[in-house]
Structure 1
């Protein structure tokens, strides 16, 4: 009697345990499936300006609470899209990292609307020893002759170095557009992103003088107005004073002469002394 009751209780406990396991597993499966979202990520590194195909991305389960805005849940939606900033392996593909729909691959795909790309010739000095890399910002300095300086002797005193463009984005160095490599590269050409007005100014600057690139902080957006450096200001001398107009002819000084005064009238008497005489006035 007692043994049969114990067996019944054991069977009930086993059934209850199995039911708990089944319900718990179903709850975990349901919870885990609702807590993740499919997100497209890069299978390997994707370079700037490179078109995307289904062989470069795959779908992974991403925690729903931390899915970044602009993520894609279907790799077919990424077919043919062009990357405007380099992606690393395992990084989610976001709409903000892609060029507009219909853009073809290449450097032109990463140029902002309304801007242009212009290439300038550089060397190891002009190119900041190869540290002007894609994604960096530079200022452009031109060394030339100041307007109005002659070609005769003394014209070197009119040489001037002036910052003509500030905070210009480096798009590429030579044919390299990747922005993930921080190693310096000494190249012979640098491509800059400029506005149409800046493109005209830069083209004129390189035709009238020598260009230099000045590397600046990526987070520094402040601009400065400078007058440029000349040979005179380089050594701290005062700026030459421009020749003034010839002085006006001095006016003749007018001399005033005092009129001669008539002698004051006095009383005089004749004095006779012996055989001589004279006049005594008082």
Structure 2
């Protein structure tokens, strides 16, 4: 009898333990399912301007409390969208990093609103030895002659554009590469007004790019450098042309001429010792 009771107690304890384990497992599964969400991430490295498709994306579990704003949970919503910035493998795809819906792929997708892209010809010197890479900021210097003077002594170098974003070098638009690349063309992002200035600058002189710190946003207005300022010479005083006006006085002499008597009958008149002629 005692053995039967002991076995019964063991069976009850075993069943209670199994029930507790099952309940705990279900509770943990519910908690884990509520604490994570599926988020779309890049399946491989993606370059800016690249259209997305299903093979480039995948879903992963992400802690609910850490899901970044603008993340996607459905792969279908990203079909055909264009990446505006480079994405690394495993990085969440956010709406802020994508071009608007309907945008086609290519460089035009990464140009900001109100901006334009213009390409300038460079060499190993003008292109800062190839260190002007996509994503960097540069200043543009033009060297030309002042006021259409054709002598070399009147050449001037002046910064005409500041903090200009480099969109691409040659046909490369990736902003993750830090290795210098010597190319023959650099594409810059400018405003319409800056595009006009840049076009005039390259038509009247030679251009140079000046690489600047990406965190430096200060605008510096320089007066330009000439041969005189380079050698430390004082600027020449402007020549003043003095025009002396000579006043000429014109003296007009007038002479009264007696009117000729009209032809007609004339008689002599004698008044005292004075005589005259009167005609009528």
Which band: TM-score by shorter chain?
A: 0.7 to 0.9
Q: Which aligned pairs between 1:178-257 and structure 2 lie closer than 5 A?
A: 178-244=174-240, 246=242
Q: Which aligned pairs between 1:5-154 and structure 2 lie closer than 5 A?
A: 5-147=5-147, 149=149, 151=150
Q: TM-score, normalised by structure 2?
A: 0.84
In 1, distance between residues paired with 2:154 and 2:5? 114
In 2, distance between residues paired with 1:34 and 1:204? 61
In 2, distance between residues paired with 1:248 and 1:200? 45
Instruction: Kindly provide the CA deviation profile for residues 57-77 of structure 1, in whole angstroms up to 9, marking residues without a partner as x.
Output: 111111101101100100100
Q: How many residues align?
A: 245
Q: CA deviation at 1:24?
A: 0.6
Q: CA deviation at 1:241?
A: 1.3
Q: 2:260 — aligned with what? A: none
SS in 1 for 2:210: strand
Identify the range of structure 1 (3-12 vs 52-61) with the bigger mean alpha-carbon deviation: 3-12
Structure 1 residues without counterparts, runs of 5 or longer: 250-282
Instruction: Kindly provide the CA deviation profile for residues 159-193 of structure 1, in whole angstroms up to 9, marking residues without a partner as x.
Output: 11000000000000000011111111000000001
CA RMSD in angstroms comes to 1.6
SS in 2 for 1:26: helix
Structure 2 residues without counterparts, runs of 5 or longer: 246-280
In 2, distance between residues paired with 1:2 and 1:148? 119
Instruction: Kindly provide the CA deviation profile for residues 182-228 of structure 1, in whole angstroms up to 9, marking residues without a partner as x.
Output: 11100000000111111110011011111000001111111101000
In 2, distance between residues paired with 1:121 and 1:136? 17
Q: CA deviation at 1:244?
A: 3.6
Instruction: Kindly provide the CA deviation profile for residues 72-131 of structure 1, in whole angstroms up to 9, marking residues without a partner as x.
Output: 100100011111111111111100000011110111111111111100000000000100
Instruction: Kindly provide the CA deviation profile for residues 257-276 of structure 1, in whole angstroms up to 9, marking residues without a partner as x.
Output: xxxxxxxxxxxxxxxxxxxx
User: CA 1:174/1:148 → structure 2, altered by over 3 Å: closer, same or farther?
Assistant: closer
SS in 1 for 2:147: coil
Q: TM-score, normalised by structure 1?
A: 0.84
In 2, distance between residues paired with 1:240 and 1:104? 57
